């Protein structure tokens, strides 16, 4: 049983990190044309992109946890099973 708990902790921490990084990548790609179009300079666009990437990394894992919680409440099960 102890081995199983170690696996669960590893999976949860890894999933949290993957959620955070994937959210940052997605939103930086979406925000790039927006910041480039609306910013007065390239420097301002880069500052906006950098700060949004940091925020997405900080909140991406929490958003993934929220999605997991919401899926459990809605009765949606993951179809991918760990090997």
**Closest to 26 measured CA to CA, from 15, 18, 16:** 18
pTM: 0.64
- pLDDT for 19: 87
What proportion of the chain, given as a percentage, has pLDDT over 70?
78
Share the mean pLDDT of the chain.
81
Q: What pLDDT shows up at residue 20?
A: 86
Residue 24 vs residue 6, higher pLDDT: 24
pLDDT in the model for residue 1 = 46
Q: Is the pLDDT of residue 82 over 80?
A: no
């Amino acid at each position: 049983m102890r081995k199983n708990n170690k696996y669960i902790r590893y999976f949860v921490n890894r999933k949290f990190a993957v959620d955070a990084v994937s959210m940052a990548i997605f939103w930086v790609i979406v925000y790039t044309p927006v910041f480039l179009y609306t910013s007065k300079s390239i420097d301002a666009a880069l500052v906006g992109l950098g700060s949004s990437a940091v925020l997405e990394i900080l909140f991406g894992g929490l958003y993934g946890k929220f999605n997991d919680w919401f899926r459990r409440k809605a009765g949606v099960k993951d179809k991918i099973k760990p090997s």
